[in-house]
Amino acid sequence: MNRSRDIAIILVGGLVLASLAFSLAGSGSSEFEVPGLPAGYYRVRALDLFGHVTFASGTSIRPVATAAPSTRLWAKVDLDEPNSREVVGFERWESGLLAAKAPVVMQNSQSFRKFVKRVEADEHGFYRFADVPGDEPYFVFAQPPGEDTAMRNFEYFSTASSQREVWRDQTLHPHRVTGNLIRAGAGSRLQLVRIGAKAEQVLWTFDAEPSGQFTIANVPHGRYRVRMLSQDQGKTTPSLPFEVVEGKDEEVVHWPEVAP
C-alpha cells in the first residue's frame, strides 16, 4: 500500500519556502526535487500522516556561480525508524560562512555515562546526533577543525520526549589569544576571564606549554584578561585588559611590568 508523505523545505529562520507530498511504495524508494530555491541554509523535514516529524536534515545551497547546478541530500529517510530524538544543527563561523568538517561534542550534563558522543559536520556544516534519550539535560559545543585544545563555548539545553528534532546551531570564532608567561614556572595554570560591566567571569581554565607560551582558539568578541594562578592558587597575577574584535584574528596578551 502506498503511503503519502509531506516534505517541508524551510529556510533557516523559520520561513517555509516550499512543501510537497509524494507516495512511497512499501518496497520502493522516492526522490523529491524543489527547483528555484535561492542560495542559503535550509532545513528539510519529512512529516507522517499525523504531522509528526519522521526525518530532519540540513543543507546549504550556494550561489550558482560557485556551486553545482543542484544540491542533493545524501541521507536515507527511514520512515519506519523509532520515534527517537535527534539533535541537529548548522555550524557556522561568526561571519556566517559554513564550518565544514568541524567536530561537535554532545554530553549529558549530569553524567557522561548516560550520553556522550562526538560527530563531524558534513560539507554543508550540518551535524546530527541520533538516538538521544528524552527528558534529560545536555550541553553541546563545537570546535574549529584542527583545534583540539580550543575554548569550549558550552550551550545547555534539555530534550522532551515529545520532540522529534532539536535544533542547536553552533557559532565558531576565528580569533586566537596568545601570550608568553613571565616570572612563572612551566605548566602554570591560567584562566581566561571576561570583563563585564559589574564583575569578571572565568570562562576557561587551561595550562601553558612547558616553554611558557599559550594559545586559546575560538574566542568570541569581548573584553578580557588572563589570570596566572600561583601554585597554591591563593594568589593570581592578572594580565593587562585586551579586546577581541572583528577583523583581528590574533590578540597578544601583555603583562604589567610590576606584578601587583
Query: H helices then E strands: how many in the chain?
Result: 0, 20
The C-alpha cell of 195 is what?
570583563
Confidence of residue 229 (pLDDT cuts 50, 70, 90): confident
Domain extents for the chain? Answer: 1-81, 83-172, 176-252
Q: What percent of the chain has pLDDT over 90?
A: 33
Is 149's pLDDT higher than 50? Answer: yes
Q: Render pLDDT for 50-72 as a digit per residue (tens, 0 to 9).
A: 666 666 666 666 665 554 555 55
In the three-class reduction of DSSP (H, G, I as helix; E, B as strand; rest coil), residue 64 is classed as: helix
Is 168's pLDDT higher than 70? Answer: yes
Is 227's pLDDT higher than 60? Answer: yes
Residues 6+ apart with CB under 8 A from 199: none
- What CATH topology corresponds to 1-81? Immunoglobulin-like (2.60.40)
- Residue 17 phi/psi, 5° resolution? -95, -25
Strands 189-195 vs 200-207: parallel, antiparallel or unpaired: antiparallel
Instruction: Quote the CA–CA distance of 138 and 158 in Å, as a whole number.
Output: 6
Counting Cα atoms < 13 Å in the Cβ hemisphere of 225 gives 16
pLDDT computed for residue 44 by the predictor: 74
pLDDT computed for residue 171 by the predictor: 94
- What CATH topology corresponds to 176-252? Immunoglobulin-like (2.60.40)
pLDDT computed for residue 125 by the predictor: 86
* Identity of the highest mean pLDDT range in 11-15, 97-101, 250-254: 250-254
Residue with the larger pLDDT of the pair 43 and 158: 158
Rounding to the nearest 10 degrees, give the CA dihedral for residues 118, 42, 30, 75: -20
Confidence of residue 256 (pLDDT cuts 50, 70, 90): confident
Q: What percent of the chain has pLDDT over 70?
A: 65
Domain 83-172 -> CATH class: mainly beta
pLDDT computed for residue 4 by the predictor: 47
Q: Among 207, 79, 182, 73, which Cα is nearest to 128's?
A: 73
**Is 83-172's fold the same as 176-252's?**
yes
Q: Could you tell me if residue 254 is left (phi over 0), alpha (psi between -120 and 50 degrees) or otherwise beta? A: beta
What pTM was estimated for this model as a whole?
0.71
Mean pLDDT of the chain: 78
Alpha carbon 225 to chain centroid distance? 25
pLDDT computed for residue 89 by the predictor: 87
Number of other residues whose CB lies within 10 A of the CB of residue 87: 23
Residue with the larger pLDDT of the pair 88 and 81: 88
